[in-house]
């Protein structure tokens, strides 16, 4: 398929600007953004956070065990183990590429971190028993282990936010080939800076041969033809290769011309899973092996078992909280403190979901009157299914419940009944599905059980419209693993604590 070269998005650069751009090259962009010192700072920051997290886990684990009445453990008694573990944890992360932040999403590093911590902690317990000839008290070991898993995850999240704010997270990268896929790559790398690839320029023969260079694609400068990109490979390590505009050459042919140390090939395979894909050598041909995890019965059974094991104790723990919130609702508004809705479940089966009421009893009538008098609000509602200033919400308690997401607690009953999962696509009504999504996506969505929380809810883009929701739900369903569920639950807890619930 051939593409016609498009006009530059902005006015072409002057001859003086072109000379300066090629003289400094992408290397100048690298130095301006961060340079090698910034990359070292990023690595040292991650290592330091992990070392401190390991030390804190040991001290807190021992202290909590002692406070709970445990005997035989003191923080000073584990100083040697503490030092060894603090050094071994980052070393294990280095060996398993956890610190390779460029081109690796946090959702991929999440299971790597946990697996590494489990292995190192088990080795530490065995080493302690072999050298001391006394067993580490189970209570102290369990508390320390939980902290060893959780604290480094929290530490990485915090340091990533700080480094992103300072512009020091990730490495510069160039995009080679700026057809539709290349433009999408640029947009994704900017929208999801956690991937650790900062695009600084693009290369495509179409612009160079067509006399349109230097142009700007997605506000990135076109630095020249694909052959011109070779001169920048000393300053930049990573190149993302997509299909060129004219499509005269395949991505593998383009990649074979390059001398970058890291080359990421992005073929136009948008409808396939992206996580848990493995390459296979088929006698010189590259094959992609994809696991459809949710089609395996053992995975579905495992997911349901975890739902029941987590939802049952949570139901007992949340009962007093729900009772207090019910009293608050009844003090503000007459009527039942609970609210039920019919939503589409698995295989489009209608299910009744339970929530704590956050709106006035005549909410639907209030909404219709408000939308009729505010065209801009109607447009917002039809696009996002939510309103920035919603007249239906109860004063005080309604906003609190939505910000904290505590109005979802009664849905634990739906989980215990097997109608919902802890993690899954957001349950929507049949009318909402028919109005906003095509039949193919509805079919994909109905193949799984809806969830209390999901990737769309915890994502930084949770305020996105239906297009964003469809993309994130599709990503979750096609790439599901138990690690993704754990990652989303971890992010959900952080969102609830930070009060980043729905409006």
Q: What is the pLDDT of residues 46-71, one digit of tens each?
A: 999 998 888 888 888 878 887 877 66
Across the range 473-492, mean pLDDT stands at 87
Residue 168 predicted with pLDDT over 90: no
Determine whether 244 is exposed, middle or buried from the number of CB atoms within 10 Å of its CB (0-12, 13-18, 19+): buried
Q: Single out the residue of 502, 491, 329 nearest to residue 422, CA to CA.
A: 491
Give the predicted TM-score (pTM) of the model: 0.72
The answer to whether the Cα torsion of 398, 400, 402, 407 is positive or negative is negative
Dump pLDDT digits (tens) for 135-164: 677 788 888 889 989 999 999 889 988 988
Q: Locate 204 and state its tokens.
A: 């495509």
Residue pair 318/416 in contact (Cβ under 8 Å)? The answer is no
Residue 233 predicted with pLDDT over 70: yes
Across the range 450-463, mean pLDDT stands at 77
Residue pair 487/113 in contact (Cβ under 8 Å)? The answer is no
- Domains of the chain, earliest start first: 36-166 (no CATH), 170-268 (3.40.50.720), 297-358+393-498 (no CATH)
Give the pLDDT of residue 10.
35
Residue 171 predicted with pLDDT over 70: yes
Q: By mean pLDDT, which of 54-63, 207-216, 297-306, 347-356 is the weakest? A: 207-216
Q: Could you give the 3-state DSSP secondary structure of residue 360?
A: coil
Residue 411 pLDDT grade (very low, low, confident, very high; cuts 50, 70, 90): very high
- The widest CA-to-CA distance across the chain, in whole angstroms, is 78
Residue 322 predicted with pLDDT over 60: yes
Q: Locate 329 and state its tokens.
A: 């609702």
Q: Locate 424 and state its tokens.
A: 């899954």
Give the pLDDT of residue 29.
43
Give the pLDDT of residue 71.
61
Residue pair 9/207 in contact (Cβ under 8 Å)? The answer is no
* 171-176/350-356 β-pairing: unpaired
What does each C-alpha distance from 392 to 26, 265, 335 come to in angstroms?
53, 49, 15
* 24 backbone dihedrals φ, ψ, rounded to 5°: -80, -35
What Rg value do the Cα atoms of the chain yield, rounded?
26
Residue 211 pLDDT grade (very low, low, confident, very high; cuts 50, 70, 90): low
What does each C-alpha distance from 3 to 6, 50, 218, 248 come to in angstroms?
9, 48, 17, 10
Contacts of 318 (CB under 8 A, 6+ apart): 409, 412
> Which of residues 256 and 52 earns the better pLDDT score?
52
Quote the CA–CA distance of 125 and 396 in Å, as a whole number: 50
> Which of residues 215 and 176 earns the better pLDDT score?
176
Residue 294 predicted with pLDDT over 80: no
Residue 426 predicted with pLDDT over 70: yes
Across the range 267-293, mean pLDDT stands at 66
């Amino acid at each position: 398929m051939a593409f016609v070269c498009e006009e530059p998005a902005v006015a072409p650069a002057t001859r003086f600007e072109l000379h300066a751009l090629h003289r400094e090259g992408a290397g100048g962009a690298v130095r301006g953004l961060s340079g090698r010192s910034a990359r070292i700072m990023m690595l040292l920051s991650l290592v330091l956070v992990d070392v401190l997290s390991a030390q804190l886990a040991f001290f807190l684990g021992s202290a909590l065990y002692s406070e709970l009445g445990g005997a035989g453990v003191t923080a000073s008694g584990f100083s040697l183990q503490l030092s060894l573990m603090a050094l071994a944890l980052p070393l294990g992360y280095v060996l398993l590429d956890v610190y390779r932040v460029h081109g690796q999403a946090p959702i991929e590093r999440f299971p790597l971190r946990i697996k590494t911590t489990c292995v190192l902690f088990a080795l530490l317990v065995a080493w302690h028993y072999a050298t001391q000839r006394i067993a580490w008290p189970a209570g102290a070991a369990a508390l320390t282990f939980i902290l060893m898993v959780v604290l480094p995850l929290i530490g990485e999240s915090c340091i990533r936010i700080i480094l992103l704010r300072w512009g020091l997270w990730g490495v510069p990268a160039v995009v080679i080939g700026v057809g539709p896929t290349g433009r999408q790559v640029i947009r994704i790398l900017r929208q999801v800076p956690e991937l650790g690839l900062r695009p600084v320029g693009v290369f495509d023969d179409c612009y160079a041969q067509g006399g349109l260079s230097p142009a700007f694609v997605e506000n990135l400068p076109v630095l020249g033809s694909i052959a011109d990109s070779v001169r920048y490979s000393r300053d930049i390590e990573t190149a993302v290769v997509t299909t060129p505009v004219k499509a005269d050459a395949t991505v593998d042919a383009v990649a074979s011309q390059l001398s970058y140390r890291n080359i990421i090939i992005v073929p136009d395979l948008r409808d396939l899973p992206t996580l848990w894909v493995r390459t296979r050598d088929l006698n010189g041909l590259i094959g992609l092996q994809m696991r459809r995890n949710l089609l395996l019965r053992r995975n579905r059974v495992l997911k349901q078992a975890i739902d029941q094991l987590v939802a049952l104790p949570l139901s007992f723990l949340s009962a007093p909280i729900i009772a207090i919130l019910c009293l608050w609702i009844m003090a503000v508004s007459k009527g039942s403190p609970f609210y039920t809705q019919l939503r589409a479940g698995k295989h489009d089966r209608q299910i009744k979901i339970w929530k704590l009421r956050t709106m006035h009893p005549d909410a639907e009538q209030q909404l219709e009157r408000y939308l009729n008098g505010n065209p801009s609000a109607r447009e917002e509602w039809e696009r996002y299914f939510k309103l920035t200033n919603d007249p239906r919400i109860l004063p005080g308690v309604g906003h609190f419940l939505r910000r904290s997401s505590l109005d979802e607690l009664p849905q634990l009953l739906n989980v215990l009944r097997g109608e919902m999962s802890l993690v899954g696509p957001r349950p929507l009504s049949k009318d909402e599905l028919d109005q906003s999504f095509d039949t193919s996506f509805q079919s994909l969505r109905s193949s799984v059980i809806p969830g209390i929380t999901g990737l769309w809810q915890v994502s930084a883009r949770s305020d996105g419209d239906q297009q964003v929701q469809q993309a994130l739900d599709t990503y979750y369903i096609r790439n599901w693993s138990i690690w993704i569920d754990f990652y989303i639950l971890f992010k959900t807890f952080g969102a609830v604590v930070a009060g980043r619930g729905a409006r």
